[in-house]
């Protein structure tokens, strides 16, 4: 009988370990399990986290090696304006990296190490399913490469998803971390550090999903897009394709016009409708509508709450990319 109980214990532990990083914490033992995973991720990630230094501009950021052949993922703004960077591994080994493509709208870029591998590398994960509460581990060469220490490890969780491919965590970042890797608890790469806001909870990362969409173009060395500090000005932001009227005092947004062939048109939204909610969350004015939509990516399906006269209903809309809809 006793033996069976032991087996139940082991099985339960195994189940917890394989589930997403969002299990409730009930005991110190749950925390020990979490700690073990953070340690394992850190041990695997640190040797693959490189500093990228540009001799021309003096810029210093981070990157992460994702293949034995030396393909590095980083942030677009780390390699902006240069063709070559110094790639410095923890421990001091220094190689030359060729800057490949960059999409500035997503703040993602690639660098290829010139030297022959094999290089230590991390595996790619998924960022699309990440949500608030998922545990993550961040690594990066904070404040630039420092020969007396390995790149610092930080632990936290997703606090907000979006805009677009981006996500926000409370893993604190600072200058030099840009381009560094964010991992899930299985040690798979889910994001690349991009920017910070004032709050300690406002650390923004470009999700790995954005790389997947643009993989071939980045690999081919194309550079495009526009770096934006404002998600409502990002050319790749998701839209439904309406012109907004003056917002109502209660926060509703009247539809003044519907763009032909837009997701709104396809979903049957009409001029004169008042938009009330996005996926069940009430909106409070035009900016609020824009920010709520910005949390999704083009191609996502959302439920838009509409008031038409006295009638209230929800309609499903597949979001389009602003740059493609307005300037095809």
- Where in 149-178 is the site for other proteins (CB under 8 A)? 149-150, 152-157, 159-163, 168, 170-178
Compute the least distance from the CB of residue 75 to other proteins, in Å: 7
Stretch that binds other proteins, among 10-18, 36-44, 238-246, 311-319 (CB under 8 A): 36-44
Name the residue nearer to other proteins (CB basis): 22 or 308: 22
Q: Which helix (H) or strand (E) holds 196?
A: strand 188-196
Rounded Cα–Cα distance for residues 172 and 154 (Å): 7
- Binding of residue 25 to other proteins (CB under 8 A): yes
Name the residue nearer to other proteins (CB basis): 13 or 25: 25
* Binding to other proteins in span 40-69, by CB under 8 A: 40-43, 46, 51, 53-55, 57-61
- Find out whether the peptide bond into 163 is cis, omega within 30 degrees of 0: yes
* Binding to other proteins in span 198-237, by CB under 8 A: 198-202, 204, 227, 229-231
- Binding of residue 281 to other proteins (CB under 8 A): yes
C-alpha distances (whole Å) from 171 to each of 85, 152, 157, 158 are 26, 11, 7, 9
Compute the least distance from the CB of residue 251 to other proteins, in Å: 14
Q: How many CB atoms lie within 10 A of CB 210?
A: 24
Q: How many residues bind other proteins (CB under 8 A)?
A: 92
- Binding of residue 273 to other proteins (CB under 8 A): no
Stretch that binds other proteins, among 10-18, 192-200, 206-214, 305-313 (CB under 8 A): 192-200
Rounded Cα–Cα distance for residues 294 and 303 (Å): 14
Q: How many CB atoms lie within 10 A of CB 105?
A: 23
* Binding to other proteins in span 232-271, by CB under 8 A: none
Rounded Cα–Cα distance for residues 128 and 136 (Å): 14
- Binding of residue 103 to other proteins (CB under 8 A): no
* DSSP code string of 117-131: ------EE---TT--
């Amino acid at each position: 009988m006793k033996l069976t109980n032991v087996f139940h214990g082991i099985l339960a532990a195994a189940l917890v370990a394989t589930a997403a990083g969002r299990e409730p914490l009930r005991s110190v033992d749950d925390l020990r399990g979490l700690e073990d995973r953070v340690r394992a991720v850190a041990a695997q990630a640190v040797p693959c986290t490189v500093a990228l230094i540009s001799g021309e501009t003096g810029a210093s950021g981070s990157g992460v090696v994702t293949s034995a052949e030396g393909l590095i993922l980083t942030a677009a703004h780390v390699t902006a304006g240069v063709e070559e960077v110094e790639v410095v591994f923890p421990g001091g080994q220094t190689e030359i990296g060729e800057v490949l493509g960059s999409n500035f709208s997503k703040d993602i870029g690639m660098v290829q190490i010139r030297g022959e591998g094999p290089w230590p590398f991390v595996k790619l994960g998924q960022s699309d399913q990440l949500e608030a509460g998922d545990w993550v581990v961040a690594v990066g060469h904070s404040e630039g490469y420092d020969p007396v220490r390995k790149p610092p490890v930080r632990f936290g969780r997703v606090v907000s998803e979006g805009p677009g491919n981006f996500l926000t965590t409370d893993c604190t970042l600072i200058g030099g971390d840009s381009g560094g890797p964010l991992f899930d608890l299985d040690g798979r790469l889910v994001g690349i550090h991009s920017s910070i806001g004032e709050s300690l909870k406002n650390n923004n990362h470009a999700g790995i999903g954005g790389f997947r969409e643009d993989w071939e173009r980045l690999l081919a060395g194309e550079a495009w897009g526009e770096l934006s500090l404002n998600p409502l000005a990002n050319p790749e932001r998701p839209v439904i394709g309406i012109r907004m009227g003056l917002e109502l005092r209660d926060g509703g947004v009247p539809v003044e016009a519907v763009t032909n062939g837009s997701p709104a048109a396809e979903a049957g939204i009409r001029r004169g409708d008042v938009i009330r909610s996005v996926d069940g969350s009430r909106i409070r004015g035009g900016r609020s509508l824009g920010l709520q939509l910005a949390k999704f990516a083009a191609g996502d399906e959302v439920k838009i709450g509409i008031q038409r006269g006295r009638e209230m209903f929800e309609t499903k809309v597949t979001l389009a990319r602003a740059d493609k809809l307005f300037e095809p």
